[in-house]
Amino acid sequence: MQARARARANIALVKYWGKSDAALNIPAVGSISITLDGLWSDTEIEFDSKLTHDSLLLDGKEDATQLRRVTTCLDLLRREADVEMPARVVSHNNFPTGAGLASSASGFAALVGAATAALGLERSPTELSILARRGSGSAARSVFGGFVEMHVGEASDGNDSYATPLLAADDWPLHVVIAVTETGAKATSSTKGMQSSEATSPFYRAWVESSPADLDAARSAIVSHDFDKLGEVAEHSCMKLHALAMTSRPPILYWNPATLACIDAVRALRRSGVPVFFTIDAGPQLKAVCLPEATDRVAAELHDVSGVVDVLVTGLGPGLEMG
Ligand code: DP6
């Protein structure tokens, strides 16, 4: 009753922010992401009848907040397998945890992969995506590699709210340069931030209503490999998300001065003809997406921005890997 799995982080180009059902974790909007090759979570799990409760060691440390979410997710799987045994979970991220670098996406996808294997549950990628969604909405996308679309679905039980692959990583091998501007955990989690935006931002309705058009635009840009069009819609979706955060009550500002300086740097690069666009999640890190020939230039420019403490470079990668 032991297994391991690796799942990679993903970043959304069309963002998920808001839920239509918090208990089932059904997103209010669809999203489109890319799975990142170089950022992953490795998770090992063992179900053991001698244990009295679940335990979680995340990067060598016990984490009570994450343990609650892990237990909720494992309870679902235990019910499906008709097992009551607690589990010992050991997970390792090869990148800063909880700083807006999608650790919950890779973490919950890896957890669901390892746990279903340990419990002997045979689940299709679609079923794994639904289970990963229950852990964290963005995790549903990390089940797949390359370009991935998450669907809101229509069913009230969430059984048609899952991700599907759009395009393989090798079919359009974009690069991502991550400018790390802070390594500490973020102040407001995505879960809390989106709850607040749903309840208090006057722009929330417009966000939900304008989402299908963004998804259509991004999907067709991806299928036709239209980099400029993808960049335009991705930056628009990112700015709308942060406008929601900023107009929540109390306001949430995920950026720091270095984040803004990085936005400037990306825009200046683009003005000089470099194929690059940015996106930013619920944290202060900027992710620059570029064509491979521009990677070195983008990395060098972002490295020189004041306040940037590290620069990570990655290509696109595969989905959930078991064993
Ligand atoms: C800004 O998937 O972390 O990264 O479902 O509550 O766990 P929960 O939220 P989470 O939210 C991700 C928000 C985002 C945008 C995105 O990845 O689409």
- Does residue 188 share a domain with residue 155? no
User: For residue 136, how far is its CA from the centre of ligand 1 (angstroms)?
Assistant: 7
Which pLDDT does position 183 carry in this prediction? 81
CA nearest ligand 1 atom 5, residue: 137
Q: Is residue 95 part of a domain?
A: yes
Mean pLDDT of 228-234: 98
- Does residue 215 share a domain with residue 130? no
Which pLDDT does position 95 carry in this prediction? 84
Query: In the listed set 132, 150, 168, which residue is the last one of a domain according to the structure?
Result: 168
User: For residue 189, how far is its CA from the centre of ligand 1 (angstroms)?
Assistant: 9
Which pLDDT does position 82 carry in this prediction? 97
Q: Domain with 117 in it: what CATH number? A: 3.30.230.10
User: For residue 282, how far is its CA from the centre of ligand 1 (angstroms)?
Assistant: 8
Q: In ligand 1, which atom is closest to the CA atom of 15? A: 18
Q: Is residue 253 part of a domain?
A: yes
CA nearest ligand 1 atom 3, residue: 190
Q: In ligand 1, which atom is closest to the CA atom of 104? A: 3
Q: Is residue 322 part of a domain?
A: no
Would the pLDDT of 186 be above 70? no
Minimum mean pLDDT among 22-31, 187-196, 210-219: which range?
A: 187-196
- Does residue 272 share a domain with residue 196? yes
- Does residue 14 share a domain with residue 157? yes
Q: In ligand 1, which atom is closest to the CA atom of 189? A: 3
Q: In ligand 1, which atom is closest to the CA atom of 139? A: 2
Give CA–CA dist 163/264, Å, rounded.
33
- Does residue 276 share a domain with residue 144? no
Q: Model pTM?
A: 0.97
Q: Is residue 320 part of a domain?
A: no
User: For residue 143, how far is its CA from the centre of ligand 1 (angstroms)?
Assistant: 15
Query: In the listed set 117, 133, 168, which residue is the last one of a domain according to the structure?
Result: 168
Q: Is residue 271 part of a domain?
A: yes
Identify the residue with better confidence: 96 or 179: 179
Q: Is residue 323 part of a domain?
A: no
Q: In ligand 1, which atom is closest to the CA atom of 108? A: 7
Residue of 10, 11, 16, 26 to mutate, ligand 1, most atoms within 8 A of C-beta: 16
Mean pLDDT, all residues of the chain: 96
Give the structural domain span for 222.
Answer: 175-315
User: For residue 130, how far is its CA from the centre of ligand 1 (angstroms)?
Assistant: 15
- Does residue 279 share a domain with residue 302? yes
- Does residue 122 share a domain with residue 44? yes
Would the pLDDT of 102 be above 80? no
Percent with pLDDT over 90 in the chain: 93
- Does residue 198 share a domain with residue 138? no
Q: Is residue 26 part of a domain?
A: yes
Q: In ligand 1, which atom is closest to the CA atom of 10? A: 17
Using 50, 70 and 90 to split pLDDT, how confident is the model at 184? confident
Percent with pLDDT over 70 in the chain: 98
Residue of 97, 103, 138, 194 to mutate, ligand 1, most atoms within 8 A of C-beta: 138
Q: Is residue 179 part of a domain?
A: yes
The ligand 1 site (C-beta within 6 Å) comprises 12, 15-17, 25, 31, 104, 136-138, 190-191, 281-282
User: For residue 16, how far is its CA from the centre of ligand 1 (angstroms)?
Assistant: 6
Total domains in the chain come to 2
User: For residue 138, how far is its CA from the centre of ligand 1 (angstroms)?
Assistant: 5
- Does residue 98 share a domain with residue 49? yes
Using 50, 70 and 90 to split pLDDT, how confident is the model at 323? confident
- Does residue 267 share a domain with residue 147? no
Query: In the listed set 168, 183, 203, which residue is the last one of a domain according to the structure?
Result: 168
Q: In ligand 1, which atom is closest to the CA atom of 150? A: 18
- Does residue 68 share a domain with residue 209? no
CA nearest ligand 1 atom 11, residue: 190
Mean pLDDT of 208-214: 98
Q: Give pLDDT tens digits for 297-319.
A: 999 999 999 999 999 999 999 99
- Does residue 97 share a domain with residue 193? no
Q: Domain with 255 in it: what CATH number? A: 3.30.70.890
Mean pLDDT of 251-256: 96
